[in-house]
Structure 1
Amino acid sequence: MVEFGALPLFLCVMGLFSESLCFVTLEVEVGDNVTIWCRHELIVSGYIHWFKHTCGSAPLIIGCKQFFGSVPSQNCFFFNESERMVVSVQGENTSLTITAVNVSDTGLYYCSSTDLMRITFHETNYLRVKGSESRRQSESAGF
């Protein structure tokens, strides 16, 4: 069952919605640090996942935290967190912090919350990393 909240994201991922309706664009320079925020719906317990999606590939899970309500969240037992990409949970919000971004970090980022009954996808952000490498790529591609 797809919940209504997940439907727009699903349609965006499938390319059936205009890109301008699907996400907020964040622009950063190569070497910057960036934090992307997302609101989750977990109350008691569950999992919070962060995904990265780039054109022509399947979504890649890049972060996971196990949520226990008022108890501090823990890393998921089945997932090793990257040193550059760190997931945090503060109340009803979760964040993904990426340090020393590079051009390969460009992509669509979103979070999901999973409890015993459902998986819900939340806010979507497009991260565009600007820098000398991305300018050269854009120029050679004709943009």
Structure 2
Amino acid sequence: MGFKSVGENVRIAKSCTIVGLENISIKSNVQIDEHVFIAANKGLLQIGDHVHVGGLCHLNCNGGVFISDFCGLSQGVKIYSLTDDYSGNSLTNPTVPEKYKQLKKAPVHLGRHVLIGSGSVVLPGVSIGVGS
């Protein structure tokens, strides 16, 4: 099974790992660089027109990630729409039974022409406004 939809002039480096193709929509003029990891097997990823995703980025889309037109993710950006709860009120890590965990799950929205700097981490529920 392939992508949900793909526009024209989309370039994805061969070294990328992408899970959940059926949940991913990519518009036109998009470039995804080397060693990007995308997990969309349990959530949606929508990428607008003229978007660049730099190398070594990690997109966890299980709560939904929505990237608008003209956005840029610099190298090593991490976007998480699902994470463990690190408040100290629950246990964390994949070996812990679900009854002891409290996952934080919420969509991430990047408005038009949002630029995310190298090494930045975006957590569940974050919305970044136009031109930020």
Task: Tell which has more relative contact order, 1 or 2 (C-alpha 8 A, sep 6+).
Answer: 1
More helix by share: 1
TM-score normalised per structure 1: 0.22
Bigger Rg, which one: 1
Say which structure is richer in strand. 1
| TM-score normalised per structure 2 | 0.23
